[in-house]
Chains A and B, each alone.
Chain A
Amino acid sequence: QSTLVIAEHDNQKLIPITLNTITAANKIGGDITCLVAGTQCSKVAEEVSKIPGVSKVLLADNEAFKGFLPESLTPLLFATQKQFNFSHILAGATAMGKSLLPRLAAKLDVSPISDIIGIKDKDTFIRTIYAGNAIQTLKSKDSLKIISVRGTAFEAAALEGGNAASENAPDADVKNEVSEYVSQELSKSDRPELTAAKTVISGGRGMKNGENFKMLYDLADKMGAAVGASRAAVDAGFVPNDMQVGQTGKIVAPDLYVAVGISGAIQHLAGMKDSKVIVAINKDPEAPIFQVADYGLVQDLFKAVPEMTDIVGKK
């Protein structure tokens, strides 16, 4: 039994969800090999080789992997699997992992398992269905398991302490003439990244407009928090989509989640209900968000948020 973890990175740095995925691989047991495929990404391979629990790093450095397109990565993974015959292939359930794994699975005729939140044994996995409204346990009958891992459901592996050997990944015909990476436009922010932040403050339809989100940014800056939004606020055009927390947006599980002017639609709860402590500020005492909140404050947010910024700032 052996597991391949596909490392996600930007050719410079490892993306943290890889560490959570390695923890999941550890739970399954057996040897862990980590594949680092990219363009001039040897720095990342070095980083990965220090992660405790990783026994081997496969490096595939090729111009063809620009943009990490699944059309060029799939043949590489296919060849790697043919050579090493892993029992499990894992990646984080990110846009990249979700694009790549099913493509690979179809090539290997495996029924993949998406977005797992738990591992029962080497064949049995736990995941959510219906936007987190039910928990499904399923057992794979395929000899190879291809699995994407929800990062927030597993602790991150340590970054130091390991010493894995590094070698080149098998050769594969990775030439890709059917798709082409053009550009990327990532939202820049001085605040922590939503899915990695210890504290998240989210605004909903109750914010009334995009300008009012400034109040949340002010509070977030005092608290070192990231700012998110409900789908209602995104749909109303207050803030861009990448701030969306929910089943169709980002799934977060910070230590502290502050929901401001959010009623608590099912799809929003699915994205944040694993937060350790939830605070809700809403003037409607009947809002469903209060049913999941550890601390609920029934008050007009336009009064409460500036006051909170004040008090937190004074500490």
Chain B
Amino acid sequence: MFRYLFMLAQETTFRSRSLDKMKSILDNCGFSYLWSFQNTSPNIKSIIKQRLEDQFTQSWSGKCNFIDDLSITIKIKVVVIRAPINSPGSKVKMSALRVLVGCKRVIDYAVKIRVKPDKTGVVTDGVKHSMNPFDEIAIEEAVRLKEKKIASEVIAVSCGPKQCQETLRTALAMGADRAIHVNIDPKDYENLQPIHVSKFLAKIAQDEKADIVIVGKQAIDDDCNQTGQMTAALLDWPQATFASKVEKNNGDLTVIREIDGGLETIKVKLPAVLTADLRLNEPRYATLPNIMKAKKKPMASKTPADLGVDVTSRLEIVSVEDPPVREAGQKVESVEDLVTKLKDAGLV
């Protein structure tokens, strides 16, 4: 594989960058070494192939002409997966921090959404869903806290219909220890808002004696950017929103936040709520053994009534419509032509 990548790299003009990128893609997939080996079950091969393709398309969002070639090569390879960072034998001095992470199931970010003809919402049936990308970052951060021995346990929570359990399995495969599914009737789910979710999260954080709650800064479906802040308010905990770096010293977290026009550093005392911004980390891909292991990790199920939360809708969605389409303009032939047109319009 690497030899193949090398070949590829040498053919392109950006030699080292291409190669580095390829390596990082493999690394993100959790593949450290690739060996030639003939006796692999077709099933595993197809999973590996899918994983590489997914990661490849994600990491290399330009034109992916290589994908077909890659899949051909993969057919004769099998992977040796990197040993888990936390080997079960190592005796870890357990620190007491327990981390609760919220993860929302949303329409996959790569899917082009379609508005329903009756304008009540967007089409979700038969559409690929995944974990909200910002929540993946939240899970990754929690798992890293555990790997750094700062946290002792990572609990993933998702509130929504049954399919949220798939999202929770992803969280478990990424390294969460157990999961709690707050099962919401699909009818209620249409009108579930961050205020309800934050009430679930706050109650669970109390019940589970969590020390840190991490959620993505916003979900990419409703773009609300509220849940973390509201959870912090309900718990009366400090909040570190839009975090791009988190460090623990003593009982405090030092957090660098992304603000308008730059960065801000704050300190919050534990317990605290964090919301993850894009640059906090790059989420890992779950490795095959971890996906298998995730199936055996515990997942509890709760209802809004169990948690004592009233899910009555507080906002009525009047309509959901397509945005106004911007008409394509004209092509200009030369820079001179362009500048003349801009000058005529008084823009230059």
- Which chain A residues have a beta carbon within 8 Å of chain B's beta carbons? 67, 69-71, 74, 94-96, 98-107, 109-115, 124, 127-142, 177-187, 193, 195, 199, 205, 223, 232, 241-242, 247-248, 250, 255-256, 263, 265-266, 273, 277-279, 290-299, 304, 307-308, 311-312, 315
Hey, which chain B residues are within 8 Å of A290, CB to CB? 328, 331
Residues 262-282 of chain B, each 1 if its beta carbon lies under 8 Å from chain A, else 0: 111111110010000011000
Q: Are B269 and A295 in contact (CB under 8 A)?
A: no
Q: Are B317 and A294 in contact (CB under 8 A)?
A: no
Hey, which chain A residues are within 8 Å of B227, CB to CB? 102
Question: B42 an interface residue at 8 Å Cβ cutoff?
Answer: no
Q: Are B319 and A232 in contact (CB under 8 A)?
A: no
Given contacts A71-B239, A103-B229, contact A139 B315 (CB under 8 A): yes
> Knowing that A111-B193, A248-B278, A277-B347 are A-B contacts, what are 19 other residue pairs whose CB atoms are under 8 Å apart, sorted by A's residue number?
A105-B230, A111-B195, A111-B315, A112-B195, A114-B224, A128-B223, A129-B221, A134-B322, A179-B269, A181-B264, A182-B266, A184-B262, A223-B348, A242-B261, A292-B326, A296-B330, A299-B334, A299-B335, A315-B348
Hey, which chain A residues are within 8 Å of B233, CB to CB? 74, 102-107
Q: Are A136 and B316 in contact (CB under 8 A)?
A: no
Q: Are B234 and A294 in contact (CB under 8 A)?
A: no
How many whole Å from B219's CB to the nearest CB in chain A?
10
Q: Are A141 and B316 in contact (CB under 8 A)?
A: yes
Least CB separation from B278: chain A residue: A248
Bound CA–CA A250/B193 (angstroms) = 25
Q: Which of B83-91, B158-166, B336-344 contacts A (4 or more CB under 8 A)?
A: B336-344
Q: Which interface residue of B115, B335, B343 has the most chain A CB atoms within 10 A?
A: B335
Q: Are B328 and A308 in contact (CB under 8 A)?
A: no
Q: Are B318 and A102 in contact (CB under 8 A)?
A: no
Hey, which chain A residues are within 8 Å of B262, CB to CB? 184-187, 242
Q: Are A241 and B239 in contact (CB under 8 A)?
A: no
How many whole Å from B265's CB to the nearest CB in chain A?
4
8 Å CB contact of A106 from B198, B328, B335 = B198
Given contacts A133-B113, A199-B347, contact A178 B237 (CB under 8 A): yes
8 Å CB contact of B331 from A136, A183, A298, A312 = A298
Hey, which chain B residues are within 8 Å of A129, CB to CB? 122, 221-223, 320
- Sorted nearest first, the 9 A-B pairs with minimum C-beta distance are A294-B329, A106-B233, A111-B314, A102-B229, A106-B230, A186-B262, A102-B226, A179-B238, A178-B238
Q: Which of B67-75, B206-214, B251-259 contacts A (4 or more CB under 8 A)?
A: B251-259
Question: B345 an interface residue at 8 Å Cβ cutoff?
Answer: yes
**Interface bracket on B:** 35 or more
Bound CA–CA A286/B76 (angstroms) = 36
Bound CA–CA A292/B324 (angstroms) = 11
Bound CA–CA A107/B314 (angstroms) = 15
Bound CA–CA A263/B226 (angstroms) = 31
Given contacts A134-B122, A138-B315, A266-B112, contact A311 B331 (CB under 8 A): no
Query: What are some 28 contacts across the A-B interface (CB < 8 A)?
Result: A67-B264, A69-B266, A70-B229, A74-B233, A94-B260, A98-B225, A101-B229, A102-B227, A106-B195, A107-B233, A112-B194, A128-B323, A129-B222, A130-B113, A134-B113, A141-B315, A142-B314, A177-B269, A178-B237, A178-B269, A185-B264, A185-B265, A187-B261, A247-B223, A256-B342, A256-B347, A295-B332, A295-B342
Bound CA–CA A155/B339 (angstroms) = 28
How many A-B pairs have beta carbons closer than 8 Å: the answer is 238
Question: B103 an interface residue at 8 Å Cβ cutoff?
Answer: no
Given contacts A98-B225, A98-B241, A295-B332, contact A193 B261 (CB under 8 A): yes
Q: Are B278 and A136 in contact (CB under 8 A)?
A: no
Bound CA–CA A99/B231 (angstroms) = 12
8 Å CB contact of A296 from B224, B326, B332, B345 = B332
Question: B61 an interface residue at 8 Å Cβ cutoff?
Answer: yes
Given contacts A106-B234, A179-B267, A242-B261, contact A135 B320 (CB under 8 A): yes
Least CB separation from B195: chain A residue: A111
Question: B220 an interface residue at 8 Å Cβ cutoff?
Answer: yes
Question: B321 an interface residue at 8 Å Cβ cutoff?
Answer: yes
Bound CA–CA A6/B221 (angstroms) = 27
Q: Are A136 and B320 in contact (CB under 8 A)?
A: yes
Least CB separation from A255: chain B residue: B347
8 Å CB contact of B316 from A69, A138, A266 = A138
How many whole Å from A31's CB to the nearest CB in chain B?
25
Least CB separation from B227: chain A residue: A102
Q: Are B221 and A130 in contact (CB under 8 A)?
A: yes
How many whole Å from A98's CB to the nearest CB in chain B?
5
Q: Which interface residue of B115, B254, B260, B320 has the most chain A CB atoms within 10 A?
A: B260
How many whole Å from B341's CB to the nearest CB in chain A?
6
A-facing residues in B97-142 (Cβ within 8 Å):
107, 112-113, 115, 122
Bound CA–CA A74/B258 (angstroms) = 20
Bound CA–CA A295/B328 (angstroms) = 8
Hey, which chain A residues are within 8 Å of B32, CB to CB? none
Bound CA–CA A183/B262 (angstroms) = 11
Question: B313 an interface residue at 8 Å Cβ cutoff?
Answer: yes
8 Å CB contact of A265 from B61, B232, B240, B244 = B61
Hey, which chain A residues are within 8 Å of B285, CB to CB? none
How many whole Å from A299's CB to the nearest CB in chain B?
7
Q: Are A140 and B315 in contact (CB under 8 A)?
A: yes
